[in-house]
Amino acid sequence: MPGDAPVTVSDSGIEIADAYAADLKRAGLRKSGLRGAIGHFFLRHPLGAAGAIIMGVFVFGALFADLITLYDPLQTNAPLSLTPPSRAHWMGADFMGRDIYSRIVYGARISLAVGIGSTLLGCVFGAAIGLTSGYLGGWVDLLAQRIIDILQALPLLVLALVMAAALGPSLRNTIIAIAIPLIPSVARVIRSNTLALRELPFVEAARAIGMSEARIAVRHVLPNTLAPVIVLATAQLGAAILTEASLSFLGLGIPEPYPSWGRMLSESAAEYVRTAPWLVIFPGLAISLTVFGTNLLGDALRDILDPRQRS
């Protein structure tokens, strides 16, 4: 009987007891399901959980902006110009009478769309370049790495400024301008992992059974390089959001009439920072919280996915 296993004293009995306890543990985890996994994450990584909550709030606001705001973010109202925070306007109104709270909530759509879009685009192209470079080697690797060196020679913001100025201000061009500087770091990570993985026995075994090199690279090598890329992508998401705000602040990012946090700062920082500080405080706080949340979540994902970080 399973209930008698824990009281046995022989070696085989101890093994049965251990197996029984392991089965109970696994059954408990299966029963807890998603709730247990979330609880474990909150207990083991409280800062990462705080970052996930912060990002969840902004994602919720971006998805349901129409339901949680009362005013059109583009509607102007001259009598309400520079209205301070009140019950009717929780974060006040700007110099054109537009509700700041509505503009920040709708601005989350822009920031997250640019951040997620540019991060995904940069990761896709970076993974393709890094996988091809590391797996094929030779002159392909040499040429790809020289291109990566050129891209990596300039800081993220400087290269994004150059690309944004060349492409022009628009949502699509802003995503492309930020994605290109993100490619080198992803390509480096994928290449370094690919160089180590292509020499392992499972790759040799795949070749021995007649798999093509392209299938081995995509089906077997690439999935084993994704864990560090996930962590890197989370960190790059915060950098992409901050870069979009910087480009919009300089007039090279999201154009009017779209509500962008960086453009909101650009319109108000110089002229109204003393007379109407809420015009600067709330957009700046939204940018800071978003970047802070992504960094906390990225650190937690690193601890979970990187075996060297586990105790």
CATH of the domain at 190: 1.10.3720.10
Which residue has 């108000």 as its token pair? Answer: 268
Whether residues 22 and 62 share a domain: the answer is: no
Q: Is the pLDDT of residue 18 over 60?
A: no
Whether residues 134 and 66 share a domain: the answer is: yes
Q: Is the pLDDT of residue 125 over 90?
A: yes
Whether residues 32 and 119 share a domain: the answer is: no
Question: Radius of gyration of the chain from Cα atoms?
Answer: 25
Tokens representing 188 are 């480096």
97: left (phi over 0), alpha (psi -120 to 50) or beta: left
Whether residues 73 and 215 share a domain: the answer is: yes
Of 50, 32, 54, 34, residue with least CA distance to 42: 50
Whether residues 137 and 6 share a domain: the answer is: no
Of 108, 150, 106, residue with least CA distance to 129: 150
Confidence of residue 64 (pLDDT cuts 50, 70, 90): very high
Instruction: Over range 226-236, report the average pLDDT.
Output: 85
Q: Is the pLDDT of residue 32 over 70?
A: no
Buried b / exposed e over 59-75, threshold 16 CB at 10 Å, is eebbeebeeebebebee
Whether residues 157 and 11 share a domain: the answer is: no
Confidence of residue 283 (pLDDT cuts 50, 70, 90): very high
Tokens representing 101 are 């709270």
Whether residues 39 and 173 share a domain: the answer is: no
Confidence (pLDDT) at 309 = 53
Number of domain units in the chain: 2
Q: Distance between CA 20 and CA 217 in Å, rounded?
A: 40
**Would you tell me the crossing angle of helices 226-249 and 171-197 to the nearest 10 degrees?**
160
Angle (CA) 122-150-253 rounded to 5° is 50
Confidence of residue 27 (pLDDT cuts 50, 70, 90): very low
pLDDT tens-digit series, residues 133-162:
999 888 999 999 999 998 888 888 899 999
Q: Is the pLDDT of residue 57 over 60?
A: yes
Whether residues 147 and 290 share a domain: the answer is: yes
Q: Look at residues 10, 26, 44 and tell me which one is the last residue of a structural domain.
A: 44
Whether residues 221 and 281 share a domain: the answer is: yes
More confident residue, 27 or 71: 71
pTM of the shown model:
0.81
Whether residues 30 and 81 share a domain: the answer is: no
The share of the chain scoring above pLDDT 70, in percent, equals 87
pLDDT tens-digit series, residues 189-224:
999 989 888 888 888 888 888 888 888 888 888 888
Confidence (pLDDT) at 11 = 43
More confident residue, 199 or 67: 67
More confident residue, 256 or 68: 68
Confidence (pLDDT) at 37 = 75
Buried b / exposed e over 265-287, threshold 16 CB at 10 Å, is bbbbeeebeeebebbbbbbbebb
Range of the domain at 75: 51-309
Q: Which residues contact 97 (CB under 8 A, 6 or more apart)?
A: 76, 77, 78, 79, 80, 81, 83
Confidence of residue 1 (pLDDT cuts 50, 70, 90): very low
Confidence (pLDDT) at 255 = 82
Confidence (pLDDT) at 301 = 84
Q: Is the pLDDT of residue 311 over 80?
A: no
Q: Is the pLDDT of residue 270 over 90?
A: no
Instruction: Over range 272-289, report the average pLDDT.
Output: 90
Which of 52-56, 91-95, 104-108, 268-272 is predicted least confidently? 268-272
Whether residues 108 and 140 share a domain: the answer is: yes
Whether residues 178 and 199 share a domain: the answer is: yes
